[in-house]
Amino acid sequence: MAEVCFLSGIEIPKGKYSREHYCSKFRLGNLAQHPYNIFPAIKIFNHIKGSLMPCEWEKQKYDLIYHAYKNWHIKRDDRKLLRQALNGMPKINPCEYCICSQYVQYCVKNR
């Protein structure tokens, strides 16, 4: 059974797998290594998300992916994945999967 990208909902093609730290290492430090914070992802989506927190990503994902599709110089197979995502990605409640719901001092919504 193939894995699905947590960020896009697309099946991860061979050679495109990465480990997504849902809450970024930049923002959480060592806490980001917690197993409940790591999800399978497609490399290009992981790169586009960057250091955004889950709630920031969920609000901006279509705009960010569209911007990358239109403006970044990326491989044809990655462009195809972005186009596929722009046709519809699952809407999720980011707080449901966010480790910051347990460590509220890091939560963007609680600032």
38-85: per-residue pLDDT in tens? 999 999 999 999 999 999 999 999 999 999 999 999 999 999 999 999
Angle (CA) 19-1-78 rounded to 5° is 50
How much is the average pLDDT of 93-100? 91
**Angstrom distance (rounded) from CA 55 to CA 16:** 24
Write down the pLDDT at residue 56: 94
Write down the pLDDT at residue 26: 87
Q: How far is CA 71 from CA 30, 66, 88, 89, in A?
A: 33, 8, 20, 21
- The helix/strand/coil state of 97 is helix
Q: pTM value? A: 0.93
Token couple for 56: 């920031």
